[in-house]
């Protein structure tokens, strides 16, 4: 009898002919996350992944595997021969380590190997009767087929796999299975969550961070890089393109109405992001915008800002309120870092009375006063690239 971890995949089953591609992507992401912990073997059987490792490492492995998108359940399981006595023994080893007092249970069998001569309902009854005989009187344990406190699962494949605990994963699709996106990563709460949500839909994430040193400190950039590291636990390796906007902000302040600063600077960010996407074959731009949250995120502002690029812009937070975004940041582990008090370039140069309903023709008239190509080219030439 062996102790293993099993990994159950979610939406991968919906992907038809592309299923093997999705499995490969998910498994590669799992290997990436657990390589520092170590494991002995890994194999795929009937759409489940089985991992053998030192039992002492199981909890650490589960923490890292949970960060991989495309997974719905992770379980600690017993693997044994397809023999009733062996299955009963494995079931006992599992239940002996559980609190059964005043609980109800149900046995569910999935007979993948149809050559096994005991059908699923009959095997469930046999093991259910065994559990009742051994544990019922001592623990006041009973059967409830409709709403049990716990289930004992039996998968009959080449071997029998028995387990009772299913730890929920994050679901979604494996990172890298849905194209490449460039995330506008600030030092705030929203943008890391936006990257997380697009990665959950299978998008490979790289980041672009805009700063305005020396008007902002180096610590603000370091904070953004720390957020990228937290995000990379879910998305894997990424590049962070760091762009200094100081000269662009100075040009805007010198030549344009101050209340247009936010809109004009955001349009610069979109055009620069588009150029980075084109050079690196990225497919889309991702932002952390939430409708109505700040002046630059009114319907009118987002429309004028989006006009600056022909690229697809994904805004996964657009319909979420701040509490929902904060809860997701806490879940992914970025919240505490995001609230550290270092100003970003947007807050430093934000006007006291920003325009909330900009008109595109007025904004374009203001842009005529700026050397757009020169400012953008210099910003890109002087950018730093960090590998996370």
Q: Which residues are part of a known binding site for ATP? A: 184-185, 209-210, 266, 288, 297
Tokens of 178: 């849905």
CA distance 180 to 20: 20
In the DSSP assignment, the letter for residue 260 is G
Chain centroid, CA 65 distance in Å: 12
Q: Give the residues across from 76 on adjacent strands.
A: 5
Q: List, in order, residues 6 or more apart from 101 with CB less than 8 Å away.
A: 139, 140
Strands 150-156, 104-111: parallel, antiparallel or unpaired by DSSP? parallel
Per the annotation, binding residues are: 184-185, 209-210, 266, 288, 297
- The enclosing H or E element of 261 equals helix 261-280
CA distance 362 to 355: 12
CA distance 44 to 279: 37
CA distance 67 to 235: 9
């Amino acid at each position: 009898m062996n102790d293993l971890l099993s990994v159950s995949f979610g939406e991968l089953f919906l992907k038809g002919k592309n299923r093997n591609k999705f499995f490969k992507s998910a498994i590669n992401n799992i290997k990436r996350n657990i390589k520092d912990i170590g494991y002995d073997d890994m194999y795929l059987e009937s759409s489940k992944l089985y991992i053998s490792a030192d039992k002492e490492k199981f909890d650490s492995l589960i923490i890292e595997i949970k960060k991989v998108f495309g997974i719905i359940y992770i379980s600690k399981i017993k693997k044994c021969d397809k023999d009733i006595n062996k299955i009963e023994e494995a079931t006992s080893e599992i239940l002996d380590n559980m609190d059964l007092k005043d609980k109800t249970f149900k046995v569910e069998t999935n007979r993948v190997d149809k050559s096994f001569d005991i059908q699923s309902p009959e095997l469930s009854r046999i093991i259910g009767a065994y559990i009742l005989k051994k544990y019922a009187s001592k623990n006041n344990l009973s059967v409830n087929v409709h709403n049990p406190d716990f289930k004992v699962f039996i998968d009959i494949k080449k071997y029998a796999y028995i387990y009772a605990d299913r730890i929920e994963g994050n679901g979604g699709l494996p990172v890298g299975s849905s194209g490449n996106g460039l995330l506008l990563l600030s030092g705030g709460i929203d943008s890391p969550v936006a990257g997380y949500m697009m990665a959950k839909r299978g998008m490979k994430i790289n980041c672009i961070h805009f700063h305005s040193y020396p008007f902002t400190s180096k610590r603000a950039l370091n904070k953004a890089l720390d957020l990228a590291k937290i995000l990379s636990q879910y998305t894997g390796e990424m590049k962070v393109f760091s762009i200094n906007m100081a000269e662009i902000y100075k040009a805007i302040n010198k030549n344009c109405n101050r209340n247009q600063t936010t809109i004009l600077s955001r349009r610069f960010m979109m055009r620069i992001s588009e150029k980075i996407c084109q050079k690196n074959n990225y497919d889309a731009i991702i932002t952390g915008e939430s409708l109505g949250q700040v002046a630059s995120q009114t319907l009118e502002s987002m429309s004028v800002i989006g006009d600056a690029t022909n690229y697809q812009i994904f805004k996964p937070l657009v319909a979420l309120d701040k509490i929902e975004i904060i809860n997701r940041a806490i879940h992914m582990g970025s919240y505490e870092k995001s609230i550290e008090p270092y100003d970003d370039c947007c807050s430093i140069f934000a006007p006291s009375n920003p325009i909330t309903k900009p008109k595109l023709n007025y904004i374009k008239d203001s842009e005529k006063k700026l050397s757009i190509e020169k400012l953008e080219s210099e910003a890109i030439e002087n950018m730093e690239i960090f590998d996370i």
